[in-house]
Each structure stands twice: as C-alpha cells, then as structure tokens.
C-alpha cells in the first residue's frame, strides 16, 4: 500500500527513464511507419513523376530527361481519351449499383436468422477472394456455354463464348464483376453506419407512430447518409484505380473497348516495358482517387462535427 | 350499461386480435423477404465458385472426374508452389504490418494531431498501385532483392500498413482507457503499459487486422505480377501461368480458386463483427 502511494507521487513518474518520456516514445512508435511509408510510397510517388518526364523503358533503364514528351504523347492519343471515358463510366455505374446492392446486403449482414453461419462467409467471398482469382473464375463462368451466364449472354443475342468480342457485353461484364466484388465491402461499411444509429432513435419514431417506410426514409436514411457516402467514395476510388479485373477478365479488349487509365498504364508500363509512359498515364489518373479522398475527408469531418 | 360495456370489451378484443393478426402477417412477410434476400445474395456472391465446383464434379466425355482434377492441380501444376509463396509472403507481410502499425496507431490515438496524420495515411492508402509500380520496378532491380518473394514482403506492406493503422486506431478509441491509466498509476512506464496492458487488451482486434492484412497481401496482383514474376503468389500465378490451357486444366484451376477462396472467407467471417464494430466505433453488436 505504501509502495503504491509512493509510486503515484507525480515526481516518481517524471523521474523515469526513456520508456517514460511521452514525446520521445510517440516518435519512437511512429518512426518505423513514417520511414517505411516515406521510402516506399512518398519517394516512389516523386520518382513516378520523374519517370513520367523521361523516356525510361525496361530495356533502356538509364534515366534521361525528356520533358513533358510522354504526357504530350499520351494526351494526343485516342486510346488515352477512350480509357478516360471508360474509367469514368465504369466508376460511375459501379458506384451507384454497389451502393444500392450494398444497402440491401448490409441489412442481411446485420439481421439475425437461421442459417446465417452459412450465408455470411458466402456473402464475404467476393471481398476476400483475390480479385485476380475471382476474375479467372468469372471468365470460366462466362465462357461456359451451358452455364447460367451462358444462357444469359445467349438471350442477349451473343454467340457461345463470344461475350468478350462484343464491346458492350465485355464492358457490362467488367462492371458486373466490379459490382459483385465491391458490394460486400460497401455493405460492411454501411452496416457499421447502421449499427452506430442509436436504437432509441428508431424506437422513438416507432412510438410516435411512424410507419416502417417513413422510419426508413426520414430517420434511418439521414443518419446513415455519411456511411453511405463513405461507402460510395471508397467504391469509386477502388474502381477507378483498379487494374486487376480488366487485366484478367478482358485484357482491355475487344480492341481496347474495356481499357481504363489504370490498366492502360499497367499494360504499357509492366507488360510493354515503357515505364516512362506507364508512369505518365498513371500520374494523369491520380486526380481521380485524390478527388475521392478529398470527398471522404469532408464526409468524415462533417460526421465528427455532428 | 352492461350491454354497452360488453360491446365495448368485445370490440376492443376483436380489434386487438385483428391487430395481432396483421402484426403476424407482417412479421411472416418480413422474415420471408429476409430469407429470400439472404439466399439470393449467397448464390450471387458465390456464383463463379459454385459454377467452378459444379463443373469439377460434372462428368464430361474424356474427363476422369473430380479426383483427377485435384491430382492434376496438386501434382502436375505449380499450384502448390503458388500456395507456398502466398503463405510465406502473406505471413511475413502480416507480421511486418502489425509491427509497424500497432505502435503507430497507439501513438496517434494518444495525440491531438493524430487526426491529421490519420488523414495523410488515408491518402497513402488510396495511392493506386498502378502509379507506384513503374518506380518500384525501376528501382527493384538496383536496390531490392530482385525477383523474389522478399521483394513482395518489402513492398506489399504499403497496401496494408495505412489500413491497419486506421483500423487499429478505431479499436483503440473504442477500448476503455482506464485499465491503461491504472497501470500508469501503479507505476508502469508508458512502454510497459503499452506492452502489458494495451497489446493484450487489443488481441481480438489484432487478430482481425491480421486476417485483413493477409487477405490484402494475398489479393495483390499488380506488385506480385510485376516485381516477382518468377515466384508468383496464387493471385499472380493462376491467371498468368495456368489460365491458358484446355478445359480439363480450367476445371482443375477452378477447384484451386475455391481452395484459396473458402479459407479466406471463413477467416474473414470470424472477425467480421469486430471489423464492423471498429469502423462504427461502437460495441460489438453483430456477434452471432
């Protein structure tokens, strides 16, 4: 007892060694992450801009400054503008569909019912499976003539196994896989928003005689709106910067119809070896996720203020 | 008097029964909709994998059945090597992620400027890998370990560390601070309080973040494909090395995909409630 009393005296703690000095400890705790992320994200970002201003390729890796030549050639290309259009289209359509499907799935995730031990892992599959493997699996499903997907594409007037030769069908397939892949993640984000709504708010509305539809529309929806916005922005950022789905599902085809900015950068840089050009296209893509991030902060800050 | 009283009572009883019936009908309807939605969502979410299993078990002319598919996958393809690479890289990336993110998250939640740093981290988490790939592959040959799993261990934490710090921050804010304060009052140093009180208290959260980090590392395609092409993980190896053959090989591949997908989903399901709770900053209300 006496020992405890002595230890709680304020000066007893202030006399402690380095393990007690809060300022120092904070920096020791933060430093590894800061150094690591600086070395492998911040510096490479700067280097990406430097590469974009060079003509570096995998076979001629020596750095030589060429000015804005790669940017100019990218901006002068029809393929670039087509990829930009596809990026915006895929992102907009996927985001809307993901939010709608995610709302439904969020309620399923939170509900209690028999068999949910089986339903929950099944519903998480699109999120947890590596996207490259999911896309491989989707290709097999879409290619199989005697599968439900085959019946669907045949109903759309596409011959067996030819879905990837029709631009509209290939684009639809890319959007479908994005929506399928990101809906569970959006549902988890929105489920988190729904659990944060105090139960008594909804109960009070029920006592006041608000019907189920009115409760959903006038009580739950406004309170859930910030998490819906977060889910939408995360979906948009992950869709517009994604390489994997297009690279594995359609490889940008047919004839570049499903190429996005990220996959164009990846195809040129990683597969074509034109690192400078890949970097230039990726730098031009950067404003899209940055805009998404800015939107995210606005939403989160507004939620914190409330 | 008594007649009207009896009438009133009977009307009230009838009204009550009517309301109860309506309530039951509505309840049954709501439950049916829920079950239909849950069943539909399960089938849609599992669709490509279900189809993979269906095609593996169906018999086709010239095909030797599901046992042969498994044997082909495990003995005649590099699938086991891909799995070993994924497990090695994933485990090491997860360990590095926790070692970096745990102290960082603790330091940030205890500081007033933690929010600003958290926002900076969120930006880093959103930098597309397509943008980082050219500079990383340009320097990987010169500085890094070259075409090997170790390059992935070095690079993949860029995907996981920002997310892990943000999520652990959410867990830390929800955790009660008084046990930790008590440890300080009892004469433990900050460091000792962190190691002996905060870390054990966070064990369930650490498990959740570990599952997430492993899943993200295993899901990486861009770096794995570009930086370690000779030592592919399943995500890079299956689509680029194996997805070119004929239908029998494809049927084996689909089983391989299912073998990877199911454990990851089951692991995520075990920690899902905690992840929802951490992002909501509330108590765990989704536990089964």
Specify the CATH number for the domain of residue B261: 1.10.3720.10
B248 part of a folded domain: yes
Structure tokens at B227: 């930086």
Verify whether the Cβ–Cβ distance A119 to B135 is below 8 Å: no
Transcribe chain B into DSSP letters. -HHHHHHHHHHHHHHHHHHHHHHHHHHHHHHHHHHHHHHHHHHHHHHHHHHHHHHHHS--TT---HHHHHHIIIIISSHHHHHHHHHHHHHHHHHHHHHHHHHHHHHHHTSTTHHHHHHHHHHHHHS-HHHHHHHHHHHHTTTS--SSHHHHHHHTHHHHHHHHHHHHHHHHHHS-SHHHHHHHHTT--HHHHIIIIIHHHTHHHHHHHHHHHHHHHHH--HHHHHH-TTS--HHHHIIIIITTS-HHHHHHHHHHHHHHHHHHHHHHHHHHHHHHHHHHTS------
Of A296-300, B31-35, B148-152, B191-195, the poorest mean pLDDT is in A296-300
Interface contact B249, partner A, CB < 8 A: no
Is residue A164 within 8 A of residue A176, CB to CB? The reply is no
Convert the pLDDT of each residue in B177-198 to its tens digit: 777 888 888 888 888 888 888 8
Does one domain contain both B131 and B255? yes
Convert the pLDDT of each residue in B78-87 to its tens digit: 999 999 999 9
Interface contact B103, partner A, CB < 8 A: yes
Task: Say which DSSP state A258 is in.
Answer: T
A264 part of a folded domain: yes
ipTM of predicted complex:
0.86
A245 part of a folded domain: yes
Q: Which of residues 148-207 of B touch A (CB under 8 A)?
A: 154-155, 157-158, 161-162, 165, 184-187, 189-192
B253 part of a folded domain: yes
Does one domain contain both B126 and B7? no
Verify whether the Cβ–Cβ distance A30 to B103 is below 8 Å: yes
A149 part of a folded domain: yes
Structure tokens at A232: 């939408």
Res B3: pLDDT: 59
- For residue A298, what is the domain's CATH number? 1.10.3720.10
Does one domain contain both B75 and B53? no
Which residues of chain A make contact with B38, given a CB cutoff of 8 A? 108, 111, 113, 115-116, 119
Highest average pLDDT, of A37-46, A150-159, A272-281, A294-303, comes from A37-46
B146 part of a folded domain: yes
Close Cβ partners of A264 (under 8 Å, ≥ 6 residues apart): A79, A80, A83, A252, A281
Does one domain contain both B46 and B96? no
Mean pLDDT, residues A226-244 taken together: 90
Where in the sequence is the domain holding B20, given as residue range(s)? 1-58
Interface contact B217, partner A, CB < 8 A: no
Does one domain contain both B86 and B156? yes
Structure tokens at B67: 């046992």
Q: CA of B127, closest CA in chain A: separation in Å? A: 7
Mean pLDDT, residues B61-65 taken together: 70
B287 part of a folded domain: no
- Spatial distance between the Cα atoms of B288 and B286, rounded to a whole number of angstroms: 6
CB pairs under 8 A between A and B: 315
Does one domain contain both B114 and B223? yes
Is residue B128 within 8 A of residue A289, CB to CB? The reply is yes
Tell me the three-class secondary structure of B98-163, residue by residue.
Answer: HHHHHHHHHHHHCCCCHHHHHHHHHHHHHCCHHHHHHHHHHHHCCCCCCCCHHHHHHHCHHHHHHH
**CA nearest neighbour of A251 among B51, B240, B132:** B240
Categorize the per-residue pLDDT at A5 as very low, low, confident or very high, splitting at 50, 70 and 90: very low
Convert the pLDDT of each residue in A245-264 to its tens digit: 999 999 887 888 899 999 99
- Spatial distance between the Cα atoms of B97 and B210, rounded to a whole number of angstroms: 8
| Residue located via tokens 């907009």 | A92
- Phi and psi at A111, nearest 5°, equal -75, 155
Residue B29: pLDDT over 50: yes
Number of domain units in chain A: 1
Q: CA of B72, closest CA in chain A: separation in Å? A: 18
Which residues of chain B make contact with A123, given a CB cutoff of 8 A? 41-42, 45
Categorize the per-residue pLDDT at A18 as very low, low, confident or very high, splitting at 50, 70 and 90: low
Does one domain contain both B8 and B126? no
Number of domain units in chain B: 2
Q: Which residues pair with A54 in a beta bridge?
A: A65
A147 part of a folded domain: yes
Interface contact B83, partner A, CB < 8 A: no
Does one domain contain both B44 and B154? no
Res B2: pLDDT: 57
- Spatial distance between the Cα atoms of A106 and A115, rounded to a whole number of angstroms: 16
Categorize the per-residue pLDDT at B281 as very low, low, confident or very high, splitting at 50, 70 and 90: low
Close Cβ partners of A220 (under 8 Å, ≥ 6 residues apart): A194, A197, A202
Mean pLDDT, residues A218-222 taken together: 80
A35 part of a folded domain: no
Verify whether the Cβ–Cβ distance B190 to A19 is below 8 Å: yes
Does one domain contain both B99 and B241? yes
Query: CB-side exposure of B74: number of CA atoms within 13 Å?
Result: 8
Q: Which residue of A has its CA nearest to B54?
A: A147
Is residue B175 within 8 A of residue B201, CB to CB? The reply is yes
Q: Kindly state the percentage of chain A with pLDDT values over 90.
A: 37
Q: CA of B161, closest CA in chain A: separation in Å? A: 8
- Spatial distance between the Cα atoms of B18 and B8, rounded to a whole number of angstroms: 15
Q: Which of residues 147-166 of A touch B (CB under 8 A)?
A: 147-149
Interface contact A10, partner B, CB < 8 A: no
A269 part of a folded domain: yes
Res B144: pLDDT: 64
Task: Say which DSSP state A165 is in.
Answer: G
Res A11: pLDDT: 44
Is residue A134 within 8 A of residue A242, CB to CB? The reply is no
Res A12: pLDDT: 42
Interface contact B269, partner A, CB < 8 A: yes
Structure tokens at A287: 């404003």
Residue B199: pLDDT over 50: yes
Does one domain contain both B92 and B132? yes
B43 part of a folded domain: yes
Convert the pLDDT of each residue in B203-251 to its tens digit: 889 999 999 999 999 999 999 998 888 999 999 999 888 877 777 788 8
Is residue A292 within 8 A of residue A240, CB to CB? The reply is yes
Instruction: Please state, rounded to an integer, the average pLDDT across all residues of chain A.
Output: 84
Does one domain contain both B31 and B87? no
B288 part of a folded domain: no
Where in the sequence is the domain holding A282, given as residue range(s)? 78-305
- Spatial distance between the Cα atoms of B71 and B62, rounded to a whole number of angstroms: 16
Does one domain contain both B268 and B206? yes
A171 part of a folded domain: yes
What Å distances lie between residue A153 and A161, B45, B201, CA to CA? 9, 19, 53
B195 part of a folded domain: yes
Interface contact A141, partner B, CB < 8 A: yes
Interface test with B, best of A133, A206, A293 (most B CBs within 10 A): A133
């Amino acid at each position: 007892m006496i020992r405890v009393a002595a230890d709680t005296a304020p000066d007893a703690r202030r006399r402690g060694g380095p393990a007690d000095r809060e300022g120092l400890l904070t920096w020791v705790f933060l430093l590894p992450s800061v150094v690591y992320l600086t070395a492998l994200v911040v510096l490479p970002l700067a280097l990406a801009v430097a590469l974009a201003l060079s003509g570096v390729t995998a076979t001629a890796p020596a750095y030589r400054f060429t000015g804005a030549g790669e940017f100019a050639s990218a901006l002068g290309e029809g393929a670039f503008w087509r990829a930009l259009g596809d990026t915006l289209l895929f992102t907009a359509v996927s985001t809307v569909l993901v939010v709608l499907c995610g709302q439904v799935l969020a309620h399923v995730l939170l509900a209690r019912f028999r068999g949910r031990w089986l339903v929950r892992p099944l519903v998480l599959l699109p999120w947890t499976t590596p996207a490259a493997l999911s896309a491989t699996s989707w290709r097999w499903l879409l290619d199989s003539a005697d599968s439900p997907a085959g019946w669907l594409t045949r109903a759309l007037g596409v011959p067996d196994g030819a879905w990837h030769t029709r631009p509209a069908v290939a684009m639809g397939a890319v959007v479908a896989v994005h929506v399928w892949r990101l809906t569970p993640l959006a549902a988890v984000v929105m489920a988190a928003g729904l659990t944060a709504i105090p139960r008594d708010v909804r109960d009070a509305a029920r006592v006041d005689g608000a019907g189920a539809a009115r409760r959903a529309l006038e009580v739950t929806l406004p309170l859930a709106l910030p998490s819906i916005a977060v889910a939408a922005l995360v979906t948009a950022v992950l869709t517009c910067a994604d390489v994997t789905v297009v690279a594995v599902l359609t490889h940008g085809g047919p004839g570049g119809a499903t190429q996005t900015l990220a996959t164009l950068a990846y195809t040129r840089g990683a597969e074509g070896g034109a690192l400078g050009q890949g970097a230039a296209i990726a730098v031009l893509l950067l404003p899209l996720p940055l805009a998404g991030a800015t939107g995210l902060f606005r939403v989160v800050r507004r939620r914190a203020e409330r | 008097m008594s007649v009207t009283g009896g009438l009133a009572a009977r009307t009230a009883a009838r009204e009550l029964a009517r309301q109860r019936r309506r309530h039951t009908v509505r309840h049954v309807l709501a439950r049916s909709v829920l079950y239909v939605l849950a069943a539909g969502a399960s089938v849609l979410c599992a669709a490509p994998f279900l189809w993979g299993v269906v095609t593996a078990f169906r018999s086709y002319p010239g095909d030797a059945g599901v046992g042969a598919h498994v044997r082909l996958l495990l003995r005649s393809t590099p699938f086991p090597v891909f799995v070993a690479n994924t497990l090695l890289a994933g485990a090491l990336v997860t360990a590095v992620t926790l070692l970096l993110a745990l102290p960082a998250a603790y330091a940030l939640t205890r500081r007033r400027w933690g929010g600003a740093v958290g926002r900076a981290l969120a930006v880093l988490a959103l930098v597309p890998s397509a943008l980082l790939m050219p500079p990383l592959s340009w320097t990987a040959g010169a500085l890094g370990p070259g075409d090997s799993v170790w390059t992935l261990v070095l690079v993949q934490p860029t995907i996981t560390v920002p997310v892990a710090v943000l999520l652990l921050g959410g867990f830390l804010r929800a955790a009660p601070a008084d046990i930790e304060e008590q440890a300080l009052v009892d004469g433990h140093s900050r460091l000792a309080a962190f190691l002996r009180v905060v870390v054990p208290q966070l064990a369930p959260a650490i498990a959740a973040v570990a599952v997430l980090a492993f899943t993200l590392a295993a899901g990486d395609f861009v770096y794995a494909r570009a930086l370690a092409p000779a030592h592919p993980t399943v995500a890079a190896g299956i689509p680029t090395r194996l997805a070119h053959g004929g239908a029998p090989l494809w049927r084996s591949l689909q089983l391989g995909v299912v073998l990877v997908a199911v454990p990851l989903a089951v692991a995520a399901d075990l920690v899902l409630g905690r992840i929802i709770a951490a992002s909501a900053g509330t108590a765990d209300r989704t536990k089964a």
